[in-house]
Amino acid sequence: MEKEEGASSTHVLVLPFPAQGHMNPLFQFSNRLVSKGLKVTLATTIFIAKTMKSHPGSLIVDPISDGFDDGGWAVAEDMNIYKERFEAVGSRTLAELVEKYSHDCPVKCLIYDSHIPWALDVAKKLGIVGASFFTQSCAVDLIYYNVSRGLLSTPVQGPTVTIPGLPLLEVNDLPSFVYYALGSYATHLSSVLSQFSNFEKADWLLVNTFDKLEDEVVQWMSKKWRIKTIGPTVPSMYLDKRMEGNTDYGINLFHLDTDPFVKWLNTKETSSVVYVSFGSLAELGEEQMEELAWGLKNSNSYFLWVVRASEETKLPSKFVEETSEKGMVVTWCPQLEVLAHRAVGCFMTHCGWNSTLEALSLGVPMVAMPQWTDQTTNGKFVVDIWEVGLRARVDEKGIVRREDIELCIKEVMEGDKGKEIKRNVKKWKELAKEAVDEGGSSDKNIEDFIAGLVCD
Ligand code: UDX
């Protein structure tokens, strides 16, 4: 990878929103900038810095206070209260951090998570470049944009929705905050819409996607805004091959010991294991958990299932003991390493944007079981647009039944539809790699971004 001349003296500060699904892409993008010769400082919150269990290599980490140093957003009453305090305290502590470097190595650019829009005001006040980093898909960003500008009103009237730049969507393909837009979802909605409060004033709009993946919507958005696709942020060493034994997976906010997973996977045949995870936030109801457990068992496949510690009590009693021959239930795992392992043949996923990009980039077919937020829209694209997975169907009670789980897994692992899905996902994997390889669309965009900073 070529290093831009003058890059080493260009200092970039990166501010992620303090949640796993936001930390990972911004951390991975930071590493990419480091590999291109930039000096990068990751500004996490104090609470996250205390929680981080693995160290992010050579990247500098310098924490700021968000006003919740002892618990982060989880201890705030709701997301809007968290965000208000983060803005009040963070505007000051972020400015102090930039000032701290002003003599030795002044910060030239602030790359901030689009969910922290006030960071742009800090950048403007201090006279540095502001780049908004969107961690979700262009499709989801465009839907939220339409809502923020009153072009799509909530609650949305069905059964379908037409949004310029996007395929025809059914109302329940929309992000759940848009679809329901009531109670706590209304609070979440106003929080995600804040991404668009000032984004037109940002110097750069970086999105964790790649051109070919969201061809139509990227083209549509590019006519209006200077967006730069820079994804997938999945580290290139994972894209090069499906491998064993690599432990450089990124930031983990949960306890992690990689050895047992890898050892277990190493004993399994190629493409024989179903990997199951619902990310860092989604909570399943007890009934859903039970259906999932027996669906997995009945599929008769090997499975590696991530059940976060906070969810463990919902597992059916004796399930772990009764299935120990076939399955491994863990509270967290190095997901990139697992998805890159040759033994994994299917990913039963909640369709978080990172999980979706990771599976697609590593060529792993999916069973989509979206839960909330942007996952419903991602699930639509996984199944109907990219055709890299099957959708597990919910019944009238909103539950995916064990029979359907078993059926979807068997179809993806062994069925005719599964063969087609495997061909498709292989194609997307190659296109993802092409985008980030030297000279690819995302790589060129990153080079342009760096050149802009260096020449500035
Ligand atoms: C949240 C939202 O739910 C998601 O839809 C949105 O796009 C980003 O914010 P999360 O639910 O955590 O994220 O899902 P996801 O986006 O998939 O991110 C989870 C990250 O944690 C992934 O990078 C994944 O590799 C990692 N992970 C997950 C692990 O490393 N180990 C695990 O056991 C599970």
Report pLDDT digits (tens) over 350-367: 999 999 999 999 999 999
**Among the atoms of ligand 1, which is closest to the Cα of residue 374?**
5
How far, in Å, from the CA of 358 to the mean position of ligand 1?
10
Find out whether 8 and 37 touch, Cβ atoms under 8 Å: yes
Same fold for the pair 8-248+436-455 and 259-333+343-431:
yes
Q: Taking residues 204-213, what's their average pLDDT?
A: 98
Q: Taking residues 419-445, what's their average pLDDT?
A: 97
Q: Taking residues 45-65, what's their average pLDDT?
A: 82
Cis ω for the linkage preceding 18 (within 30 of 0): no
Find out whether 390 and 411 touch, Cβ atoms under 8 Å: yes
Name the token pair of 120: 């742009």
Name the token pair of 24: 């990972």
Q: What is the pLDDT of residues 281-293, one digit of tens each?
A: 999 999 999 999 9
Q: Which of 115, 280, 351, 356, when mutated, tests ligand 1's pocket best, judged by the most ligand atoms within 8 Å of its CB?
A: 280
Label residue 273 left, alpha or beta by phi (over 0 means left) and psi (-120 to 50 means alpha): beta
By C-alpha distance, which of 292, 368, 306, 298 is closest to 326? Answer: 298
Residue with tokens 């809007």: 80
Q: Would the pLDDT of 57 be above 70? A: no
SS3 186: helix
How far, in Å, from the CA of 280 to the mean position of ligand 1?
5
Q: Which of 355, 360, 377, 382, when mutated, tests ligand 1's pocket best, judged by the most ligand atoms within 8 Å of its CB?
A: 355
Cα 10 to Cα 3, 23, 107, distances in angstroms: 12, 22, 7
**Among the atoms of ligand 1, which is closest to the Cα of residue 282?**
11
Cα 28 to Cα 162: distance, rounded to the nearest angstrom: 34
Residues with catalytic annotation? 22, 113
Which amino acid, one-letter code, is at 395?
A: D
Q: Would the pLDDT of 60 be above 90? A: no
**ipTM for the whole complex:** 0.98
Which amino acid, one-letter code, is at 217?
A: V
Name the token pair of 57: 């290599």
Nearest CA to ligand 1 atom 5: 352
Domain residue spans in the chain?
8-248+436-455, 259-333+343-431
What would the CATH number be for the domain defined by 8-248+436-455?
A: 3.40.50.2000
Q: What is the pLDDT of residues 74-123, one digit of tens each?
A: 899 888 899 999 999 999 999 999 999 999 999 999 999 999 999 999 99
Cα 338 to Cα 344: distance, rounded to the nearest angstrom: 7
- Confidence class for position 259, pLDDT limits 50, 70, 90: confident
How far, in Å, from the CA of 411 to the mean position of ligand 1?
25
Q: Give the pLDDT score at 258.
A: 66
CA atoms within 13 A on the CB side of 277: 29
Q: What is the pLDDT of residues 169-200, one digit of tens each?
A: 999 999 999 998 888 899 899 999 999 999 99
Cα 44 to Cα 101: distance, rounded to the nearest angstrom: 16
Q: Of the ranges 62-76, 235-249, 334-348, 433-447, which one carries the lowest mean pLDDT score?
A: 235-249
Q: Would the pLDDT of 6 be above 70? A: no
**Among the atoms of ligand 1, which is closest to the Cα of residue 339?**
25
- Confidence class for position 303, pLDDT limits 50, 70, 90: very high
- Confidence class for position 248, pLDDT limits 50, 70, 90: very low
Q: Would the pLDDT of 243 be above 80? A: no
Q: Taking residues 3-32, what's their average pLDDT?
A: 88
Q: Give the pLDDT score at 200.
A: 97
Q: Give the pLDDT score at 257.
A: 66
Q: Give the pLDDT score at 183.
A: 86
- Confidence class for position 125, pLDDT limits 50, 70, 90: very high
Q: Would the pLDDT of 55 be above 90? A: no
Cα 68 to Cα 75: distance, rounded to the nearest angstrom: 8
Burial 158-180 (b: 16+ CB within 10 A, else e): eeebebebbeebebbbbbbbbbb
Residues lining ligand 1, Cβ inside 6 A: 20-21, 24, 135-136, 252, 277, 279-282, 306, 332-336, 352-355, 358, 373-375
pTM for the full predicted model:
0.95
Fold entry, domain 259-333+343-431: Rossmann fold (3.40.50)
Find out whether 270 and 342 touch, Cβ atoms under 8 Å: yes
Q: Taking residues 402-429, what's their average pLDDT?
A: 98
How far, in Å, from the CA of 6 to the mean position of ligand 1?
35
Q: Taking residues 248-273, what's their average pLDDT?
A: 76
Portion of the chain with pLDDT greater than 70, in percent: 93
Residue with tokens 């296109």: 431
Return the higher-pLDDT residue of 140 and 79: 140
- Confidence class for position 249, pLDDT limits 50, 70, 90: very low
Please give the angle made by the CA atoms of 435, 439 and 442, to the nearest 5 degrees: 35
Find out whether 432 and 361 touch, Cβ atoms under 8 Å: yes
How far, in Å, from the CA of 424 to the mean position of ligand 1?
23
SS3 268: coil
Q: Would the pLDDT of 68 be above 60? A: yes
Question: Which spans in 101-248 are helix H?
Answer: 118-126, 138-148, 176-179, 183-193, 215-224, 236-240
**Among the atoms of ligand 1, which is closest to the Cα of residue 371?**
3
Q: Give the pLDDT score at 181.
A: 82
Burial class of residue 187 in the structure, from the number of CB atoms within 10 Å of its CB (0-12 exposed, 13-18 middle, 19+ buried): middle
Nearest CA to ligand 1 atom 4: 352
Name the token pair of 390: 């099957």
Q: Would the pLDDT of 244 be above 50? A: no
Find out whether 131 and 202 touch, Cβ atoms under 8 Å: yes
Q: Give the pLDDT score at 242.
A: 43
How far, in Å, from the CA of 314 to the mean position of ligand 1?
20
When the pLDDT of each residue in the chain is averaged and rounded to a whole number, the result is 92
Cis ω for the linkage preceding 155 (within 30 of 0): yes
- Confidence class for position 261, pLDDT limits 50, 70, 90: confident
- Confidence class for position 454, pLDDT limits 50, 70, 90: confident
Q: Give the pLDDT score at 254.
A: 55
Cα 48 to Cα 445: distance, rounded to the nearest angstrom: 30
